[in-house]
A and B are shown apart, each in its own frame.
Chain A
Amino acid sequence: MAGALSVLKRIYLTVYNWSVFLGWFQVLYLALKTLKDSGHEHVYDAVQKPLLYAQSAAVLETKFTIQLILFKILHGLVGLVRSPITATLPQIGSRLYLTWGILWSFPETQTHILVSSLVISWSITEIIRYSFFGTKEALGSAPSWLLWLRYSTFLLLYPTGITSEVGLIYAALPYCKESEKYCVRMPNKWNFSFDYSYAAILALGIYVPGSPHMYSYMLGQRKKALSKTKRE
């Protein structure tokens, strides 16, 4: 019975990882094709649907991981989930913020050239990541070249991705201010206010310590992962 359950789990995870892989592959393909045929202004339009789908998968994954952690804490079980939440949460957070909080909310940003670099950076990273896990679930292990890709492409794609994110947030600022979208003003009975532009500036501020932190975390992961295979 336990054997059947773990086989089911493996099949499920294999299918899951490969379908999200396909989603991101679609994003990359459409992005490159549109870039070539029509120019960077049209990239967002082309990738919007598969991008939003692939993002939703990531959100569900995170929600599941969080619930798993909570379950383990509540039941006094201690164990490590695949990646520490402090490293994955900022990544998911920035993805969601850019996709929904910037691009979807302020269409004026969708024709920006940084959308292309953003989408290409994200999709290549995710294609490698999901194919890595998909292969591991299906075959038990992943080829060493895939492992190498997983822990090396970030060296270039983190800077390009982060630059795109920061650039797009910055580009959106005048539109945030002008449109008053998501802003709450005083007076109101809850004595609360929220300014989306200031929040965006705060988000930019977080990138200052956050980016070196994430990058050095990945460097550490790289060292661990690639030295382990050398020893085996």
Chain B
Amino acid sequence: MKVAVITRSGKEFFKGGLELNDSATVADLQEAIYKRTKKYHPSRQRLTIPLQPGSKEKPTVLQSKKCLKEYSDGNTDKLTVVFKDLGTQVSYRTLFFWEYLGPLVIYPIFYYFPVYHFFGYRGERVIHPVQTYALYYWCFHYFKRIMETFFVHHFSHATSPLSNVFRNCAYYWTFGAYIAYYANHPLYTPVSDLQMKVGFGFGVVCQVANFYCHLLLRNLRSPNGSGGYQIPRGFLFNVVTCANYTTEIYQWLGFNIATQTVSGYIFMVVAASIMTNWALAKHRRLKRLFDGKEGRPKYPRRWVILPPFL
């Protein structure tokens, strides 16, 4: 089968195109492109079927496991695909590891080292019990995240653009320092013992629930990243589409109830809005895919992310 590869502006990417087996898959095509160009690793290739000019539809993205024949609709010996370079990619595991490592390392620095001397606070520092528990809670949280990244999560896409590393690390590391600064401050004012216990207790319960949610999500997918969407079921997913985000947000609420810093609450609000954005998209996608027609199940009525609000 002859494959013509063109750019989005219509120009030919390779003179003469590529020659592949009739039974070749998209992955084979990506390998061939990589061999020819040496620069464009398959993970940075985005291949789509060319659209009719003026068509408002979203282009069909070629999926690596599928046969090329499936996309050539009738014309079995010729196919044209549009190539887009997604830029340098990193694996999701790499991305998550670096963004979570920051908070894990930065927070203890504020706790253990005389950082506040550089801010002008001389003299002895009294450390309240809640500050110690907060350290354990925070570090456990990010340690858990890193463990889940390597041992639990099944990712739908193998990679993410390199620029996301800088963007995400800036987000996590800056907020990590912002919260750590106040939570470990020499002039920190602790809350009541009861409030601390309620906060951390609730937070721990939510973290455990969050872990269980991740296990359930993992079992929806096969480990080699073939993606595909399923209706999540079981535990809180019967009630909320993105129960994993719900438990994550509530776990931060627990932390904030116990530590009571404005910076912690700001972080929670920002994180919640980012996750709400994702949750709305996911909920909408699932409702669209599982519309109850043609034998497909219908997506049940559920909260999106934060009952009783949304």
Contact = CB atoms under 8 A, between A and B. Distances in A.
B188 A192 contact: no
Nearest to B259: A191
Interface string A67-98: 00000000000000000000000000000000
A140 interface: no
B45 interface: no
A192 B183 CA distance: 10
Contacts of A186: 185, 187-189
B260 interface: yes
Interface in A155-180: none
B261 A190 contact: yes
A28 B243 CA distance: 57
A190 B260 contact: yes
A216 interface: no
Contacts of A221: none
B185 A189 contact: no
A191 B261 CA distance: 5
A5 B188 CA distance: 59
A229 interface: no
A152 interface: no
Contacts of B188: 186-187, 191
B262 interface: yes
A194 to B, nearest CB: 9
Nearest to A187: B187
B263 interface: yes
B260 A193 contact: no
A188 interface: yes
A157 B234 CA distance: 61
Contacts of A193: 182
**Top 5 closest A-B pairs, CB basis?**
A192-B262, A186-B187, A187-B187, A191-B261, A191-B182
